[in-house]
Structure 1
Amino acid sequence: GSLERRRCLYLHRGRACCQMMEVLLAALILVCSSVSGGSAGGYTGLPALGGIYYYQYGGAYSGFSGADGERAQQLDQRFYLLKLPIARAAMAVGGCLLVFPCVLILVGVLRVPWHFPAWLLIECTLCIAIAVGTVPALYYFFHSLLSVYNSSVCKEREQLYQSKGYQGFWCSLHGAEIAAGLLGCMAAMAYLLSAGLAVRDYRTAHEQKQKPLQL
């Protein structure tokens, strides 16, 4: 009926499109954060091979044996534990950013802003708060990661792997972490745009509500 048509029309509005973009960005942030907090890679002991250590990602047997292999495992574990809280915090933020626009889309489809236009001002305030809050969140994210990469654990791990000729264990930001930061910046801009669209829609809804009273 006409009610269902109006609900579907909301999904074609600028605010809904912006909210769907926020959902996509949040999902990508969540993926990048999980990659950052994933296994540190490195070497896993194979007892059946008498202390030879197997390179997980390269598929080749390494020259590590005995104390070197055990040390590599210890450094991998310590490095992983250093990054884990940062990754979990980033995933929690990504999860919240994923849920919030989904709720806003549902509210819009149910036409709550039409029946209660003041909701749009609340939505605008929340969007601005999220956009502004993204700045210190990104600072904390990169500052914490750089602290891990500058730690003695990371430096020793990097040197140990390089001594065996393996690359890719550098103490620097990797692609997924940089991507998460860029996606966070894009999400902040999307929320600012949503705030502006919410104000515009509030004015439109308020004017339409006032028209019957003026007749």
Structure 2
Amino acid sequence: MLSFQGNVLDEVFKGILKFVEITVNLLVLICVGAAQASVAGFTSIGGLGIGSFNLNLAYSPFEGTELQEVRELDMQFTQMRAPCVYGGVAFSLTAASLTLLFLVAGTKPIQRLTVGLLAGECAFNLLAGVGYVAAVGLYLHFVIQVNSTEVCKRRERLYARRGYTSMNCMVQGSDMAVSLFGVAAACLYFASFVVCILAIRTVRAFQSRTAKAQGSPESSLRDRSVRDHRVVCRSSERSHSVQALATLV
């Protein structure tokens, strides 16, 4: 009974971990989009219209050649940061989808779980944890590299002339949020890897106990007695049938 309750608690904890992993993946996805929107500028389509000026309908702080220059710089800057967006979105969506898949596949009683499925889940958790650590490092490296370009510095000077100091070449808070949630996701996947290893041990122990129970002498005697009882019942039914037939004759 205690072993059964422990297995149930392990499965519940494992499911909670999966739900949190999916949530953190979605937060990474949201932060990647917010990071691109916050640094895209007032004239770039990459800003997604969030906090930007509509050049056709609203007042713009730039005009003339300065407006044309800031337009070109905004477009170049967002294009340079595009791999961060596409890579972050693809990675977080893939991780969230596979996590959801393993969550659904793992909602079975322990006697129906297979070691192969759990081994695949363990491999995914390990790869996802290592992948998130590498992805966070590459993301920050790429952001710092883009911020050190001449395009970013010229763009920063143009915006600073009009008093917009937020468009600078430092790592933004939204980029730090992407990194923070990425590290949190890596920690969660490493924790899931450990839980998955324990689940494999539990399934193997359960399978070995089942095999021993089926091959034990008591089990053999029990099966033999059941078979003998069935044979006796069948012979008794046949004798009753013969007696009834004899009576009719």
- TM-score with structure 2 length normalisation? 0.72
What amino acid maps onto 2:166 in structure 1?
A: G
Shift of 1:117: 2.3
- Which one has a larger percent helix, Structure 1 or Structure 2? 2
Q: Which residue of 2 aligns with 1:175?
A: 173
Q: Is the 8 A contact 1:82 1:148 kept in 2?
A: yes
Q: Is the 8 A contact 1:33 1:176 kept in 2?
A: yes
Could you say what secondary structure the match of 2:125 adopts?
helix
Q: Which residue of 1 aligns with 2:64?
A: 66
> Could you list the runs of 5+ residues in structure 1 that have no partner in the other structure?
1-8, 45-54
Higher RCO, Cα 8 Å, sep 6+: 1
In 2, Cα distance between equivalents of 1:189 and 1:24: 14
What amino acid maps onto 2:53 in structure 1?
A: Q
Q: Is the 8 A contact 1:158 1:171 kept in 2?
A: yes
Select which of 131, 134, 143 maps to 1:133: 131
Q: Does 1:114 align with 2:118?
A: no
In 1, Cα distance between equivalents of 2:208 and 2:143: 53
Percent of aligned pairs with the same residue?
24
In 2, Cα distance between equivalents of 1:138 and 1:37: 16
Shift of 1:124: 1.2
Name the CA shift for 1:63/1:33 in 2 (closer, same or farther; >3 Å).
Answer: closer
Q: Which residue of 2 aligns with 1:3?
A: none
Q: Which residue of 2 aligns with 1:52?
A: none
- Which one has a larger percent strand, Structure 1 or Structure 2? 1
Select which of 53, 58, 68 maps to 1:56: 53
1:188-203 map, 5 Å: 188-203=186-201
Select which of 205, 208, 211 maps to 2:209: 211
Could you say what secondary structure the match of 1:61 adopts?
coil
Name the CA shift for 1:11/1:206 in 2 (closer, same or farther; >3 Å).
Answer: closer
Q: Which is higher, the Rg of structure 1 or of structure 2?
A: 2
In 1, Cα distance between equivalents of 2:70 and 2:111: 57
1:128-167 map, 5 Å: 128-167=126-165
Q: Which residue of 1 aligns with 2:34?
A: 35
In 1, Cα distance between equivalents of 2:28 and 2:111: 28
Shift of 1:194: 0.5
Q: Is the 8 A contact 1:112 1:119 kept in 2?
A: no
Q: Which residue of 1 aligns with 2:88?
A: 90
Cα RMSD, aligned residues only: 2.4
Name the CA shift for 1:76/1:168 in 2 (closer, same or farther; >3 Å).
Answer: same
- TM-score with structure 1 length normalisation? 0.82
Name the CA shift for 1:130/1:12 in 2 (closer, same or farther; >3 Å).
Answer: closer
Q: Is the 8 A contact 1:149 1:172 kept in 2?
A: yes
The alignment covers a number of residue pairs equal to: 196
What amino acid maps onto 1:167 in structure 2?
A: T
